[in-house]
Amino acid sequence: MRKKKAIVVGAGLGGMSAAIRLSGDGYDVKVIEKNSNIGGKLNRREGKGYTFDTGPSILTMPWVLEQLFESVHRRLEDYITVERVEPQWRTFFEDGTQLDVTSDLPQMLDEMAKVTDRPNRKLTDFISYTQDMYELCMKSFYKYSISDLKDLKSHHKLSELLQMDPMNTVAKSTKKQFDNKYLEQLFNFFVMYVGSNPYSSPAILNQLVYVQLGLGIHYVKGGMYKIAEAMGQLMDELRVDVQLNAPVKQLVVEGERVVGVETEDGTVHEADVIVSNLEAIPAYRRLAPSNSKVKKEIKSLEKKFEPTVSGLVLLLGTDKKFDHLKHHNFFFSEDPEKEFKQIFDQGKPADDPTIYIGISARSDDTQAPEGKDNLFVLTHVPPMTNGKRKPVDWDQYRELVLDKLERMGVDGLRDSIEFEYRFTPEDLETLYGPNGGSIYGIAADRKTNGGFKIPSKSQVYDGLYFVGGSTHPGGGVPMVTLSGQLTADLIKEQEKEPVES
């Protein structure tokens, strides 16, 4: 009897999730990671007593992690402690308006009453609409690896497809529901969980509002990196072979099938199945043989699947606490349509960007010295693709970000900084390989891709599969973790049994 072998290229959450599931399905699994630690964009940085999660800072849909651990007969709570965060967000507008987002319905109605009449009807109607969207997704998007409309139709009746509000974008549907600039801007921004433009992404993504308000947002005690450590421990228990500091040079191909990978040191690792946690477009560009078939596939994918936004990330340790800030804070732009047009259509950083500040020390005092704050400052900027974006002076853009924050009430921020580290799109692309330094994989666009992602099974080679933000169901911690599980299901369906005689 020979156990079939699987190789996973990259130890991001999608890759590790696939490795865990494939191991549970009977494969002999090897994970090959170019960096010195697991986790991919979910990473950690420390300095001067401050600890920062350098990637995802919000956890939604923890059931996805629970499901992964249960699939190999483990309990998530034995590995990490997940806690709810309230209020979920504190939001600031340029005119001084401040709204807290909370899953406490009476409190949320009080907040909305600051900017609108009859909030009760508006909120309950909207939550009902977004819950319907979420429940439809639970029947298909979150259950199967879906590539296109044909796949989707196989899981839904016509009436259900129409319930997905296919003729509207996120922004059009929020305008219908609220016709209120504050609430439209607030709820439109939920689509940035997947790095997409609310003015062009399909309305089905409004289900992200229910994901947050209905199911809650969470934090992992000790920092979000504990998720990666928990998966690492689980892979160790399952005897998954994890090789770090091992960049993959190329795929090894025989005819129409990928049969292994070669690492930079010249070692060839053979396998029956290869799963790439490196996004599909960069994987074809960098790892696949440069032939006409591969070139044609790259061109086809680039036309249909634009990368999501990237980001300028500032990790700031401050020698004082900003008591008016909560765990998650958003400082909105004055003109959201202009902001998204500059980022998505003109390919330049917004003149007046929306800025996120995460302070994990609000929920976990181990993350910063006493009386001090650890600020994770994220500003979304365009990806670096196809020469569309001109070089950016990041020093200058940092000043613009700090100017805006100080103007909007984060007084004395500059003078309080005693630790600082920065990530730019260039850094993100170098470290993790995403297309153009994209944070969330593929941007959902109603016209170009209908909100669908790159198929998880390679259209060029047999035996090659993809996981991560560029594949179904998309970007963000729960989505990429789910992509690993759904791709493992697809492999089970497409490949022969993992144990051969």
**Strand arrangement, sheet containing 241-243:** 241-243, 28-32, 5-9, 273-276, 464-466
pLDDT at 92: 98
Cβ-based neighbours of 189, under 8 Å, separated by 6 or more: 198, 330, 332, 336, 354
Q: Could you tell me how far CA 271 lies from the centroid of its own chain?
A: 28
The pTM assigned to this predicted structure is: 0.94
User: Are the C-beta atoms of residues 307 and 383 closer than 8 Å to each other?
Assistant: yes
pLDDT at 450: 85
User: Are the C-beta atoms of residues 221 and 239 closer than 8 Å to each other?
Assistant: no
Tokens of 52: 């920062």
What would the DSSP string read from start to end of 333-383? -S-HHHHHIIIIIS-S--SS--EEEE-GGGT-GGGS-TT-EEEEEEEEE--
pLDDT at 501: 40
User: Are the C-beta atoms of residues 456 and 483 closer than 8 Å to each other?
Assistant: yes
3 state DSSP class of 5: strand
**Of all helices (H) and strands (E), which one includes residue 209?**
helix 207-213
Alpha helices (H) along 113-198: 119-139, 149-153, 158-163, 170-178, 181-188
One-letter amino acid at 262 equals: E
d(CA 481, CA 38): 14
Tokens of 86: 């309230």
User: Are the C-beta atoms of residues 91 and 76 closer than 8 Å to each other?
Assistant: no
Tokens of 39: 């986790």
Neighbours of 264 (CB within 10 A): 12
| E strand residue ranges, 10-134 | 28-32, 44-47, 50-53, 82-84, 89-92, 98-101
**Strand arrangement, sheet containing 268-270:** 248-254, 257-263, 268-270
Burial of 447 (0-12, 13-18, 19+ CB in 10 A): exposed
pLDDT at 259: 97
Taking only the tens of pLDDT, the chain with its 501 residues reads 678 999 999 999 999 999 999 999 999 999 999 999 999 999 999 999 999 999 999 999 999 999 999 999 999 999 999 999 999 999 999 999 999 999 999 999 999 999 998 888 889 999 999 999 999 998 988 898 888 888 888 899 888 888 888 899 999 999 999 999 999 999 999 999 888 999 999 999 999 999 999 999 999 999 999 999 999 999 999 999 999 999 999 999 999 999 999 999 999 999 999 999 999 999 999 999 999 999 999 999 999 999 999 999 999 999 999 999 999 999 999 999 999 999 999 999 999 999 999 999 999 999 999 999 999 999 999 998 755 667 899 999 999 999 999 999 999 999 999 999 999 999 999 999 899 899 999 988 888 888 899 999 999 999 999 999 999 998 899 999 999 999 999 999 999 766 554
Secondary structure in 3-state letters for 411-467: CCHHHHEEEEEEECHHHHHHHHCCHHHCCCCECCCCCCCCCCCECCECCCCECEEEC
